[in-house]
Structure 1
C-alpha cells in the first residue's frame, strides 16, 4: 500500500525548462521528471526534436524519443522569432527554477538564452549548459555527439 510519503516525489514542485535535442539534455531532464519535476521541453518549430523521426516502434512514435521524453510537457518555438523568444524568456523568468540547454556551442547565447543573461532576469534560476568539450579549450566550439566522442577516444577502433 502506498503512503503519502512513499508516493511523494523528491523534486515535486520544481519547474525545469529545457531547450534540448538529441540525447544529453533529454536524458538529464528525464531523470528530473522521473523524480517529480515538471519538465517543459522546448522543441524547434515546426518539426520538433529530430529524435521524433528516428523510428516508429512505440505505437507509431519514436521509441527513442518516448524513452528520453517520458513525463515531460512539450511545445515548439522558433527561438529566433521575437514573439517566441520573448514568450520563452518570460516563462523562464517567471516560472522556471531550472534551465537546461544542449544546443550547439554559442547558439543559446546568440538566441538570448545565455546562462548569465537568464540569471540576471531570474536570480534564483539554476542553469545547466551541456556541451561535449566544455567552455574553454581548443575544441570548446565543436559540436559533440556520443559516436563522435567514442571515435575520438578510440572506442571505435576495435572490431
Structure 2
C-alpha cells in the first residue's frame, strides 16, 4: 500500500454531528489514526438520524469511516484520566463540543500545552464561539 500523508499521526476526537466528524474523516482518509470518543449509552446522536446502513444512519457511516471508537463519560474523573493518557501519544486533539465545554474539562490548548507541547488542539464550532447561533 502506498504511504499516505498522515500515516503515523494519531488524532483523538471528541466529536458529534457534522463539523468535527467530517474533519476527522478527512484526516483518516489521509492516513491518520482517528480515535473517536463518544458518550456512553448513546454515542454520537448522529447514529440515529436514520437506519439505512445496517441499522445505522447513512450520514454517521459516511462521516465516521476508517475510525476507531470508544466511549468515555468525561464527567467521570477516571474516564477523563483515560483521555489524558491517550493524549500522551496523540498528535492532535480535535473537538466540537458545546462552546467552552472542552476548556471546562481542562482540554483547552492553554491547559494542555505545558504537558503536551507538540499536541495540536483544534476546536471546531458549526456556528462560531459567539453570535446569535453559538448555542
Structure 1 position 42 matched with structure 2 position 34: no
- Give 1:112 deviation, angstroms: 2.1
Larger Rg: 1
Aligned to 2:20: 25
TM-score by length of 2: 0.93
Give runs of ≥4 in structure 1 deviating > 6 Å: none
Contact 2:50-2:56 at 8 Å conserved across structures: yes
Contact 2:108-2:121 at 8 Å conserved across structures: no
User: Which of 93, 96, 108 is the equivalent residue of 2:90?
Assistant: 96
Aligned to 2:8: 13
Higher helix share: 1
Which runs of no fewer than 5 residues in structure 1 stay unpaired?
144-159
Aligned to 2:131: 139
In structure 2, how many angstroms separate the alpha carbons of the residues matched to 1:45 and 1:141?
Answer: 27
Per chain length, whose mean CA-contact separation is higher, i.e. which structure has more relative contact order (CA < 8 Å, sep 6+)?
Answer: 2
Q: Helix, strand or coil for the counterpart of 1:121?
A: coil
In structure 2, how many angstroms separate the alpha carbons of the residues matched to 1:120 and 1:79?
Answer: 21
